[in-house]
């Protein structure tokens, strides 16, 4: 049976969602704060973690960061009432599996939870390498390693995914909305669209590459002759 760890300091909300999840057949273990949640996570096996964003002492994104130290492939959903693009950007940067507003209709929330649980963490093909001869750049899609001029660079998971998507679609103009849907699996608001620009800027700066061209008003193109 699927086992979920649910961390939220709003006891009333937590109880309602816990009961709904149990009706769907999930086993739900709850914690009221990050410290208790982390202790439970370290001492048991969970298929999914659901955490509120705003809590006292530590927030949900700090909790996500702690979990990533134990399991980089853990499936984690962040729940929020926040409309701040900055919070969402932090969550995407830390590779939250899903970001759900607490006002989302319960049927939609359950579908998103089901979708995250169905994600295959080992879906990457074995030892698939993307290469750019012009940039002397290689991406190891299995091990998430980036090399340029035989020097290995550290990219965040999201930076890596954006770069890989552009390289896979070389010599094609891809819109910001398309990148957002492909990399983050979400439809975009203005804040989300700007997040794409932020990541492209970081990639250009870290790798000092010139093959990513901005197509004004549309998106980006990886140009490889």
Integer Cα distance of 197 and 21 in angstroms: 37
Helix (H) or strand (E) holding 220: strand 219-222
Instruction: List domains and CATH numbers for the chain.
Output: 3-118 (3.40.50.2300), 129-222 (1.10.10.10)
| Tens digit of each residue's pLDDT (9 = 90 or more) over 167-185 | 999 999 999 999 988 887 7
Integer Cα distance of 217 and 114 in angstroms: 35
| Tens digit of each residue's pLDDT (9 = 90 or more) over 117-158 | 987 654 433 447 899 989 999 998 877 789 999 888 988 888
Integer Cα distance of 40 and 31 in angstroms: 8
Reference 153, options 221, 210, 208; nearest CA is: 208
Helix (H) or strand (E) holding 159: helix 157-168
Band of pLDDT at residue 22, cut at 50, 70 and 90: very high
Helix (H) or strand (E) holding 38: helix 34-43
pLDDT the model gives residue 2: 92
pTM of the complete model:
0.54
For residues 155 and 163, is the Cβ–Cβ distance under 8 A? yes
Q: Count other Cβ atoms within 10 Å, centred on residue 20.
A: 14
The single-letter DSSP state of residue 125 is P
Helix axes of 60-70 and 34-43: crossing angle, nearest 10 degrees? 20
Q: Name the residue with tokens 């804040």.
A: 191
| Tens digit of each residue's pLDDT (9 = 90 or more) over 62-87 | 888 888 888 878 899 988 876 666 66
For residues 173 and 213, is the Cβ–Cβ distance under 8 A? no
- Give the bridge partners for 28, in sequence order: 4
């Amino acid at each position: 049976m699927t086992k979920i760890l649910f961390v939220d300091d709003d006891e009333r909300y937590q109880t309602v969602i816990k009961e709904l999840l149990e009706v769907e057949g999930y086993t739900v273990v709850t914690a009221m704060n990050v410290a208790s949640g982390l202790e439970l996570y370290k001492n048991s096996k969970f298929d999914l973690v659901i955490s509120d964003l705003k809590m006292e002492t530590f927030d949900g994104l700090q909790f996500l960061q702690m979990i990533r130290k134990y399991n980089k492939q853990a499936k984690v959903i962040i729940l929020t009432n926040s409309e701040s693009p900055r919070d969402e950007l932090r969550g995407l940067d830390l590779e939250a599996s899903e970001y759900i507003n607490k006002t989302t209709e319960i049927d939609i929330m359950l579908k998103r939870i089901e979708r995250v649980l169905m994600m295959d963490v080992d879906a990457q093909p074995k030892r698939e390498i993307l290469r750019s001869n012009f940039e002397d750049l290689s991406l190891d899609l299995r091990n998430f390693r980036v090399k340029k001029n035989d020097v290995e660079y550290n990219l965040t998971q999201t930076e890596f995914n954006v770069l890989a998507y552009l390289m896979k679609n070389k010599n094609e103009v891809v819109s910001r909305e398309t990148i957002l849907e492909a990399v983050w699996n979400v439809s975009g608001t203005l804040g989300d669209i700007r997040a794409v620009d932020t990541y492209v800027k970081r990639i250009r700066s870290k790798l000092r590459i010139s093959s990513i061209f901005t197509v004004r008003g549309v998106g980006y193109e990886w140009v490889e002759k």
